[in-house]
A and B are shown apart, each in its own frame.
Chain A
């Protein structure tokens, strides 16, 4: 269990998609399909839809907020976003789209969670709780 700070409330459960490098929703992610299109990213080719998307912080153009909103309208947005520290691009996008957002996890989340793990985010109070269920390696 990892404690974190709630920015947008809610409770969701889903599969983790982890990028250790910052993301720009404008440019890195196709706004109509939710596929990661930046070849330089470790999660290139993955779909963000329905995932618990974990990355350090947002970068690049503030248009990213609109892209998050657009993805949500087309049901291609992540279920939740976990950041080390959220900045306005991601916060604005998640508030507009009602996507669960938490940041400042108490433990090093990149050492604990890998892409494909099951993650539950409970963000009702000021302090959110992240639960991680590891799958056995096949």
Chain B
């Protein structure tokens, strides 16, 4: 791999041990992926923040890096944690667990991270078309590439950490113009599309798309309503390793081009996947909205409807910055959590074992954890 003089110096250890280690990691990964060189990034977003996921192994590494003097070279935000940093005492979360989670956040802040603790950095950081960034959260990666036209691969938590330290990433994949060409065209059958609108919702459509396409860069022939884009993309991230979808009427890089490979999503694909995502057999204990984190407008809309449904126990998750701006009374049956999301939380300790959610992504991960779960589109949950 070609390295500039400055990069060579970093790799040699001229800028300290932490920098040397970070360069070594990123260069090795780049070489293995066949990248010809590194490219400077303007922003990073690190995932793998939850103590439930990274455990003592992750805490250990983050603390040693911080103590070694590692510092982020670009503006860096972090994904949700396992606890609400202010409300955790009321959530049945063990004290030892909470202390370790706080230490993870402290180590990252010491290295210079903004403790955003949210999966929607695209509403916080000023990212523009064409920017090279290193984001690790899949829904954010899909949003950045597909909606903003910024450039990042799905870096993964540890790799994004080291890329943030050196301010560079391997120039490969979705960072290159060739890597962003559509590889497959996706259409939805007419009946299937009607079913999406009426019964299944766009998160399920995204989940099916990811399951069918799996890799490459799909280009869609159908439209997704703007309010549904995030749920749609998040679901694609959960069922595939895709990092970009070129969406009709939305993506800045959508072009009328000939793509050899084509696929159509039909009714039975939707039906099958809907069944697969459901493991809940009895009544739900809670209804969960907020994967990805809710925007202020979404929270306020939900609160308006939920006020009139006092029987339902509801959990919402969003970022701390949105929570501070909520200008409505929060009804008694509703809990709003910040800094965290249920997908990375210690759910058993919290006593949440049976969940209905409007997020196909959350349904995917919760069911993998052994939680009984059912995916139901938001308008249907709120309507019945």
Interface status of B158 (Cβ within 8 A of chain A):
yes
Question: Contact string, A39-65, partner B, CB cutoff 8 A, digits 1/0?
Answer: 000000000000000000000011101
Interface status of A118 (Cβ within 8 A of chain B):
no
Give the segment of B24-32, B106-114, B140-148, B181-189 that binds chain A.
B24-32
> Which of B24, B32, B58, B162 contacts A63 (CB under 8 A)?
B58
Question: Contact string, B22-43, partner A, CB cutoff 8 A, digits 1/0?
Answer: 0011001101110000000000
> Which of B24, B55, B158 contacts A62 (CB under 8 A)?
B158
Which of chain A's residues 51-107 have a Cβ closer than 8 Å to chain B? 61-63, 65-67, 69-70, 73, 86-89, 91-93, 95-96, 103
Does B28 contact A62, Cβ atoms closer than 8 Å?
A: no
Does B53 contact A95, Cβ atoms closer than 8 Å?
A: no
Does B57 contact A62, Cβ atoms closer than 8 Å?
A: no
Residues of B with C-beta under 8 A to A61: 53
Question: Contact string, B139-164, partner A, CB cutoff 8 A, digits 1/0?
Answer: 00000000000000001111100100
Does B158 contact A65, Cβ atoms closer than 8 Å?
A: yes
Does B25 contact A66, Cβ atoms closer than 8 Å?
A: no
Does A91 contact B32, Cβ atoms closer than 8 Å?
A: yes
Question: Contact string, B162-175, partner A, CB cutoff 8 A, digits 1/0?
Answer: 10000000000000
Residues of A with C-beta under 8 A to B159: 62, 65, 88, 92
Chain A residue with Cβ nearest B55: A31
Does A89 contact B28, Cβ atoms closer than 8 Å?
A: no
Closest CB in chain A relative to B21 CB, distance in Å: 7
Known A62-B48, A62-B157, A89-B156; contact A103-B32, beta-carbon cutoff 8 A:
yes
Does A73 contact B158, Cβ atoms closer than 8 Å?
A: no
Closest CB in chain B relative to A112 CB, distance in Å: 23
Residues of B with C-beta under 8 A to A26: 53
Alpha-carbon distance A95/B158, docked complex (angstroms): 12
Does A92 contact B29, Cβ atoms closer than 8 Å?
A: yes
Query: Which residues of B does A touch, CB under 8 Å?
Result: 21, 24-25, 28-29, 31-33, 47-48, 53-58, 60-61, 136, 155-159, 162
Interface status of A7 (Cβ within 8 A of chain B):
yes
Interface status of A4 (Cβ within 8 A of chain B):
no
Interface status of A8 (Cβ within 8 A of chain B):
yes
Does A96 contact B48, Cβ atoms closer than 8 Å?
A: no
Query: Which residues of A does B touch, CB under 8 Å?
Result: 7-8, 26, 31, 61-63, 65-67, 69-70, 73, 86-89, 91-93, 95-96, 103
Closest CB in chain B relative to A88 CB, distance in Å: 5
Known A62-B156, A62-B159, A66-B48; contact A95-B61, beta-carbon cutoff 8 A:
no
Chain A residue with Cβ nearest B136: A62
Does B54 contact A63, Cβ atoms closer than 8 Å?
A: yes
Does A69 contact B156, Cβ atoms closer than 8 Å?
A: no
Does B57 contact A69, Cβ atoms closer than 8 Å?
A: yes
Closest CB in chain A relative to B328 CB, distance in Å: 37
Residues of A with C-beta under 8 A to B158: 62-63, 65-66, 88-89, 92-93, 96
Alpha-carbon distance A18/B159, docked complex (angstroms): 27
Q: 14 additional contacts, CB 8 Å, given A63-B54, A88-B156?
A: A31-B55, A31-B56, A31-B57, A63-B57, A63-B58, A65-B156, A66-B58, A69-B57, A88-B29, A89-B156, A92-B29, A95-B24, A95-B25, A96-B21
Alpha-carbon distance A96/B62, docked complex (angstroms): 12
Alpha-carbon distance A89/B54, docked complex (angstroms): 13
Alpha-carbon distance A62/B154, docked complex (angstroms): 11
The 6 closest A-B pairs by CB, nearest first: A70-B57, A62-B156, A66-B57, A65-B158, A66-B58, A95-B25
Does B48 contact A63, Cβ atoms closer than 8 Å?
A: yes
Residues of B with C-beta under 8 A to A89: 156, 158
Can you spell out 9 A-B residue pairs with CB atoms less than 8 angstroms apart? A31-B56, A62-B47, A63-B48, A63-B58, A69-B57, A70-B60, A88-B156, A89-B158, A92-B156
Alpha-carbon distance A90/B21, docked complex (angstroms): 15
> Which of B28, B57, B136 contacts A67 (CB under 8 A)?
B57
Residues of B with C-beta under 8 A to A93: 158
> Which of B24, B48, B61 contacts A69 (CB under 8 A)?
B61
Alpha-carbon distance A27/B156, docked complex (angstroms): 17
Does A92 contact B54, Cβ atoms closer than 8 Å?
A: no
Alpha-carbon distance A70/B158, docked complex (angstroms): 13
Chain A residue with Cβ nearest B65: A96
Closest CB in chain B relative to A35 CB, distance in Å: 15
Does B25 contact A86, Cβ atoms closer than 8 Å?
A: no
Chain A residue with Cβ nearest B25: A95
Closest CB in chain B relative to A76 CB, distance in Å: 11
Does A63 contact B28, Cβ atoms closer than 8 Å?
A: no
Known A69-B57, A69-B60, A86-B32; contact A63-B157, beta-carbon cutoff 8 A:
yes
Alpha-carbon distance A61/B57, docked complex (angstroms): 14
